[in-house]
Amino acid sequence: MLHQNNDIEKNTFVNKKENDLLKVILDVIQHVLILITFLMFFSFVQVAMAAAEDNQNALLLYSTGSNESRSAAMVRTDVDMRVSGMINHTLLTQVFKNSRDEWVEGIYQFTLPESVVVDTLRIQMGERVIYSEIKSNARALTQYQNAKKTGKRTALLEQHRANIFSSKIANIAPGEEVRIEISFQYLVKYEQGEFKLRFPMAMLPRYLLGVTVSEWADFDPSILNGLNENQLANTIRLRYPVTGSDKPVPVSLHIELDAGFPLVELDSRYHAIHKTNHGSGRYSIRFKSGIVLSKRDFELFWRPEPGQRPRTSVFHEKLGDEHYYFAMLYPPQPELSDQTLLNKEVVYVIDTSGSMAGVSIRQARDAMLTALDDLDPEDFFNIITFNTQTHSLFKQSRPASVLNVARARQFIALTNARGGTEMLPALKKALAYNESDARLRQIIYLTDGAVVNEQEVFELLRKNIQQNRLFTIGIGPSPNSYFLHNAARIGRGTYTYISNINEVSMRLGKFLKKINRPVLQNIKIEHLSGKAEVVPQNIPDLYAYEPVVFSMKANEPVGVVNIVGYRADEQWSRRLQLTDSNNGFGVAKYWARQKIKAYLDASTDMNKTKKLEKSITAIALKHKIMSPYTSLVVVDKSLTGNPSKRIYSHPIPARLTSMQNMQVKTGQVIPLLAKTATDTQLKFIVGLVSLLLAVLVRIFLRRRYQNREWL
């Protein structure tokens, strides 16, 4: 019995000894594993943190084969501008760095100034520079996708709205710096005798969905409807960088300004600048500090000398045999100032349906009250509100006398928003009477909702618009922009979109104030010598402090044109000498852009789209500018440059899966057959996981023994 006991004791002792050895080994492995896990976790956290930091700027990178996106840091932005008169030609250079250790595709969305004409995209990756070509949208996309698939460097620039662009860049090497150069032009603004050049410094990407962009009124809205599912999905992805893009990017600036006349004042509103005067209105401008870190838009303004204020400014560009002109004529003072306004009649048509309830109607009321105060006592006015029913302030428009304005105020104060939207009767009423023929009739139509019977309304407008001007204002998240835009076109007015209902009062007030001051209507350009094509054909009415702006294409130099317009019931005209015009950069492109706009404006008829697309594509391709139907695609020049170097990748002909013959002919395709990866990494990971599991089960087992010993 004792002996037996002894034996058992001995056995356990031996077992114990074995266990100790195993325990030591396992402990060591355990520590190593913990260390490895810890290191792996730590490096993961580091990578994640780096990724989070990278998201600050707007170039999104998609690594090939995955949807996971990280961004490349924008290193800097260079802005190079050449201003001739009112045309500003800009070369924007943005430098990004792909900080990942992977090849990636960059998708980048950005905002440019309004009514911009983009003509060139240039991309520099590593030591290679590639230039853009203008192609029709479909061709450009195919070319981009093919190039991307075969691993070529390629980029595509697409226009989504009048001022929203997206560019994609495929196959960016790890650690590579990418320079994106975009050249474009736009018009400098002229207000109250002052020229203003604005440039968005933050280049904040704006959303496509929800149409938060307000000033796209001069663009075809059909591209808005034309987004397919893919584009919409992309759009949602494009929204992503917005959240992180609050870090200012270093910007350097260089402007060569040729104002066309001597200046009395030239300065920047928000940034310190250094300017060099080259005489007769020519200046070089830079940031005083060289480079600026700023989120604030850059705004440069200048004023012509008041004494010899030039009435006109003409620029000329010769392209082949064609002569292009860009002309502006300032409202001659005091001949056409706000002291000599046209007599007018304003009819406000306001949507008071249920959806306008709350902030919208309150803001609309505020704006209306300001507008009423601004009316000239001799102006006529009326207010029509509509929901399920139509109400009007007066049966007929009445003068804006103190008494009538007071009644209007009362009417507005009592306006409440409820019920449905029946817009047709209201518009009919606004268009119906025509008692004051000498007056300029302005109909201002404000709504936030959908329109059901679009075609019926278009028909009504076409028949009855005559000399009326229709201005449409859409507010909130979902007005029918397509309808409002086209209605304004037919009505020779403008469409204003205000997305943020909290801005309605401010923006609507500003707009109403502007259209309260018409000075000249029915403006025409009569060219006395030679044949010429003027755009826009219908020059918009002129309001106080606005210049007449037009451009012209002719087959031979044009000597003189006559600008004719009407003030009240008298004719007004002015001769404009074109012979001593300055040489202007980008004048032809400006003309092309206006011509495209004219085409878009002329087509409310959807059946004509094929023909329209053809005409627009032809102009856009000729002048190498972007349009709703053309994109810029960047192709690797070295591939097309030297045919002898074309040994690159090529689709394999069907059934060619092996390659026996080592003698080949030019152009024959050689397949890549070698298997060039091993499963080392996979094996390593499987091995590590097995080891980890073994240790875990072993630890569990030991715990179980220990518990039993306690019992």
Partner 1 sequence: MRFLSDKILKWIVFILAVLAVYFLATAFYIPVKAIIAQNLLHSAWQSTLAGDTSVKPWPWADTWPVARLRVPTLNIDQIVLDGDQGSSLAFGPGQRVHSVNDKSSGLTMISAHRDTHFKFLQYVKLGHRIELQNEFGDVNTYQIEDMQIIDSEVMGIRAPEQGQWLTLVTCYPFNVLDSNGPLRYVVFAEQIKPCASESCQS
As a whole number of angstroms, the distance between CA 3 and CA 478 comes to: 96
As a whole number of angstroms, the distance between CA 344 and CA 569 comes to: 12
Q: Is 98 exposed, middle or buried (0-12, 13-18, 19+ CB in 10 A)?
A: buried
In the complex, what is the shortest distance from the CB of residue 101 to partner 1, in angstroms, rounded to a whole number? 8
The smaller minimum CB distance to partner 1, of residues 560 and 691, is found at 691
In the complex, what is the shortest distance from the CB of residue 674 to partner 1, in angstroms, rounded to a whole number? 4
The smaller minimum CB distance to partner 1, of residues 413 and 670, is found at 670
Cβ–Cβ under 8 Å, residues 51 and 241: no
In the complex, what is the shortest distance from the CB of residue 695 to partner 1, in angstroms, rounded to a whole number? 8
The smaller minimum CB distance to partner 1, of residues 293 and 697, is found at 697
In the complex, what is the shortest distance from the CB of residue 29 to partner 1, in angstroms, rounded to a whole number? 10
In the complex, what is the shortest distance from the CB of residue 127 to partner 1, in angstroms, rounded to a whole number? 5
The smaller minimum CB distance to partner 1, of residues 605 and 679, is found at 679
Residue 500, token pair as written in the block = 């943020």
Residue 296, token pair as written in the block = 């604030």
Report the sign of the C-alpha dihedral through residues 574, 578, 583, 585, in that order: positive
In the complex, what is the shortest distance from the CB of residue 17 to partner 1, in angstroms, rounded to a whole number? 17
- Amino acid identity, residue 510? K
The smaller minimum CB distance to partner 1, of residues 232 and 693, is found at 693
In the complex, what is the shortest distance from the CB of residue 45 to partner 1, in angstroms, rounded to a whole number? 19
In the complex, what is the shortest distance from the CB of residue 686 to partner 1, in angstroms, rounded to a whole number? 5
The smaller minimum CB distance to partner 1, of residues 138 and 669, is found at 669
In the complex, what is the shortest distance from the CB of residue 62 to partner 1, in angstroms, rounded to a whole number? 13
CA angle 681, 683, 689 (to 5 degrees): 105
Instruction: Specify the DSSP class assigned to residue 310.
Output: -
In the complex, what is the shortest distance from the CB of residue 696 to partner 1, in angstroms, rounded to a whole number? 9
The smaller minimum CB distance to partner 1, of residues 455 and 668, is found at 668
Question: Residue 260 to residues 281, 310, 314: CA-CA distances in angstroms?
Answer: 6, 9, 8
Nearest to 556, CA basis, from 533, 584, 532, 592: 532
Cβ–Cβ under 8 Å, residues 525 and 495: no
Torsion angle (degrees, nearest 10) of CA 636, 640, 645, 651:
80
Question: Residue 267 to residues 28, 257, 286: CA-CA distances in angstroms?
Answer: 72, 12, 11
The distance from CA 95 to its chain's CA centroid, rounded to whole angstroms, is 20
The smaller minimum CB distance to partner 1, of residues 228 and 678, is found at 678
Is residue 686 helix, strand or coil?
helix
The smaller minimum CB distance to partner 1, of residues 466 and 658, is found at 658
Nearest to 316, CA basis, from 326, 308, 306: 326
Is residue 116 helix, strand or coil?
coil
Q: Is 261 exposed, middle or buried (0-12, 13-18, 19+ CB in 10 A)?
A: middle
Where along the sequence are the contacts to partner 1 (CB under 8 A)?
Answer: 63-65, 101-103, 126-128, 149-152, 171, 173-174, 638, 643-652, 656, 659, 662-688, 690-691, 693-694, 697-698, 700-701, 704
In the complex, what is the shortest distance from the CB of residue 678 to partner 1, in angstroms, rounded to a whole number? 5
Residue 10, token pair as written in the block = 């001995």
Cβ–Cβ under 8 Å, residues 123 and 634: yes
The smaller minimum CB distance to partner 1, of residues 2 and 673, is found at 673
As a whole number of angstroms, the distance between CA 375 and CA 168 comes to: 50
Instruction: Report how far apart the first and last C-alpha atoms of the chain are (Å, whole number).
Output: 24
As a whole number of angstroms, the distance between CA 634 and CA 631 comes to: 10
Q: Is 354 exposed, middle or buried (0-12, 13-18, 19+ CB in 10 A)?
A: middle
Cβ–Cβ under 8 Å, residues 239 and 619: no
Residue 387, token pair as written in the block = 């929901």
The smaller minimum CB distance to partner 1, of residues 559 and 671, is found at 671
In the complex, what is the shortest distance from the CB of residue 22 to partner 1, in angstroms, rounded to a whole number? 10
The smaller minimum CB distance to partner 1, of residues 320 and 643, is found at 643
In the complex, what is the shortest distance from the CB of residue 690 to partner 1, in angstroms, rounded to a whole number? 4
As a whole number of angstroms, the distance between CA 321 and CA 421 comes to: 55
Cβ–Cβ under 8 Å, residues 263 and 304: yes
The smaller minimum CB distance to partner 1, of residues 105 and 158, is found at 105
In the complex, what is the shortest distance from the CB of residue 660 to partner 1, in angstroms, rounded to a whole number? 11
As a whole number of angstroms, the distance between CA 552 and CA 325 comes to: 5
Name the one residue in this structure whose structure tokens are 């627009």.
616
The smaller minimum CB distance to partner 1, of residues 570 and 679, is found at 679
The smaller minimum CB distance to partner 1, of residues 293 and 682, is found at 682
In the complex, what is the shortest distance from the CB of residue 126 to partner 1, in angstroms, rounded to a whole number? 5
The smaller minimum CB distance to partner 1, of residues 414 and 700, is found at 700
In the complex, what is the shortest distance from the CB of residue 79 to partner 1, in angstroms, rounded to a whole number? 29
Cβ–Cβ under 8 Å, residues 628 and 614: no
DSSP letters along 451-503, please?
-S-HHHHHHHHHHH-TT-EEEEEEESS---HHHHHHHHHHTTS-EEEE--GGG
605-609 long-range contacts, CB within 8 A, separation 24+: 606/222, 609/222
As a whole number of angstroms, the distance between CA 561 and CA 329 comes to: 12
